[in-house]
Structure 1
């Protein structure tokens, strides 16, 4: 059995500390995706980038990443990464992970349908918890000459998103790079 990495009580406490609002467990929507064959480092950075955005803003952002119009800022895994001339406002190290954005879009659409099923207002629903963790490792072996074999393993990623419905005055109005970079720091 797979467990959530965050409980409802922890989400309620997180919202209380960050937004100074008391919510109930009925205002929480969750979605998970398992065993995506994507880069776990890029998935962690993408989860960090969409945290504290509304569901619609996160979906639009992932669509822009898929179309190579907006990058994902890379904060933690920056070794041997290209530093760009920053045509966008913010962080100079960035990537355009299309497969990761596609996987996050699947989970975001699932989160949106879960939120609407629970009766939450989609426009006021903000992602408060986004995490990506390593899943199982797919083990393959490539046969070589003289009876040898080379391991050829592939990691998978589990994605977890939690959103809550907030009052309208606390919801971010529009997407901004400053908000993404502030959430990353």
Structure 2
């Protein structure tokens, strides 16, 4: 019996490629917002948008948990999640590389599935006064990208 190694199932493996990044040290909240921004886009346009976010030229619109977040030009409440964008960009480029290895035309592909899941929480603490300590845990996220050729 074959396993899918944690991936979402693919409708047609002959025209798709996938990549998975586990336990990336990024905020799952911001990773979810970045993924929502590029979901369904052509791969080349998504890479360009992620590079613009990394250079802080384009803000990512926040859909959830956006109270007291300042509005950015043309999109409403938004931020510049650089770490999450870098991790997602690396995963998208990995999927593109996997597609090239399979002999697919990357310029004619779109992101069909991109999902973010919470990864392991790495426990930590921050020393405080009087010999006390406060929990200071590191959140991680799992990123999954599946790209398919567009008709």
Question: Structure 2 length as normaliser, TM-score?
Answer: 0.90
After superposition, the CA RMSD in angstroms is 1.7
- CA shift at 1:113, angstroms? 0.2
In structure 2, C-alpha distance between the alignment counterparts of 1:141 and 1:64, rounded to whole Å: 34
Structure 1 residues without counterparts, runs of 5 or longer: 13-23, 168-185
| SS class of match (1:34) | strand
The aligned counterpart of 2:35 is: 47
Name the residue aligned to 1:124. Answer: 108
User: CA, structure 1 residues 146+70, in 2 after alignment: closer, same or farther (shift >3 Å)?
Assistant: closer
Distance 1:26 1:77 in 2: 39
**Structure 1 CA distance, aligned partners of 2:80 and 2:125?**
30
Structure 2 unaligned regions, length at least 5: none
Q: Provide TM-score, normalisation by structure 1.
A: 0.74
Equivalent in 107, 110, 113 of residue 91 of structure 2 = 107
In the alignment, which residue of structure 2 is the partner of 1:63?
A: 51
| Aligned counterpart, 2:24 | 36
* CA deviation string 1:64-122 (max 9, x = no partner): 111111111111221221123x3x3xx31111111111111111110110111111111
Report the alpha carbon displacement of residue 25 of structure 1 after superposing the two structures with TM: 2.1
Number of residue pairs aligned between Structure 1 and Structure 2 = 148
More helix by share: 1
Secondary structure at 1:93's aligned position in 2? Answer: strand
